[in-house]
Amino acid sequence: METYTSDERFEALHLRKNNDWTLQIKYTQLRDSGTYECQVSSDPKISFFVNLTIVEAKASIEGAPDIYVKSGSSINLTCVITQSPVHPAFVFWYHDERMINYDSSKGLIAVQKAGSDTAVSKLFIKDVQPSDSGNYTCCPSNAEATSITVHVLNGEKPAAMQHDANPGHSLSCPFHSHRLIQWLTILLWFILR
């Protein structure tokens, strides 16, 4: 079996006692999209073409970049993950740099599938206080993190608030594309069977 590329991310896999071959692409990138040819050196030669489209899941929080709420009210932050052919293995939420998924005093978190390529994670916080102000980050396992800034007001109007011109706050989460690779490998295996 030959794989015609110098890129070590590509590997042809064959299980013993099986006639099936699988092309595995590790750490997929958008540039890996294209037409792939599986060729069997027989007489006559057999050739099969597969078009592969790599998609990159995207996350966004509704209402971003800023929301303003009154002290004592509730907030419901909704993180929408689109272009996601597989459901995220997890979605972590952070308040500033502290993970709050397992902090029952902070709020309730739910993750649900919203369509064939969309997932939604909701963070519900009741009776918000000024200490709940800050940066909230949604970090899905299969997409880049996204953030929103929550401003809890004690009766003042948003226009009267002072904003930091350069907050300089960002939180990065590990981006795992291995689930997408697994899904694409399985899909390619079924196509080539």
pLDDT digits (tens, 9 = 90+) for 2-46: 677 889 999 988 878 888 888 999 999 999 999 999 888 889 999
- Provide the percentage of residues in the chain whose pLDDT is more than 90: 52
Q: How far apart are CA 21 and CA 39, in angstroms?
A: 11
Q: 3-state class of 192 per DSSP?
A: helix
Q: Contact, 138 vs 101, CB < 8 A?
A: no
Query: Between vectors from CA 10 to CA 45 and to CA 82, what angle results, nearest 5°?
Result: 110
**Res. 166: pLDDT tops 90:** no
pLDDT score for 165: 34
- Encoded tokens for 161: 């608030």
CA 120 → CA 10, 55, 60, 104, distances in Å? Answer: 32, 18, 10, 20
Q: What is the mean pLDDT of residues 121-150?
A: 95
For residue 190, the model assigns a pLDDT of 55
User: For the stretch 94-118, what's the b/e string if a residue is b when 16 or more beta carbons lie within 10 angstroms of its beta carbon?
Assistant: bbeeeebeeeeebbebeeeeeeeee
Q: What is the tens place of the pLDDT at every residue in 38-88? A: 888 889 999 999 999 998 999 999 999 999 999 999 999 999 999 988 889
- Model pTM? 0.68
* pLDDT exceeds cutoff 90 at 134: yes
pLDDT reading at 170 higher than 90: no
Where do the DSSP E strands lie in 8-74? 10-14, 21-25, 34-40, 46-52, 58-61, 66-70
The answer for 6, left when phi > 0, alpha when psi is -120 to 50, beta otherwise, is: alpha
| Average pLDDT taken over every residue of the chain | 82
pLDDT of residue 40: 84
Q: Residue 162: its pLDDT value, please?
A: 36
pLDDT at 173: 59
Q: How much of the chain exceeds pLDDT 70, in percent?
A: 79
- 175: confidence class by pLDDT, cuts 50, 70, 90: very low
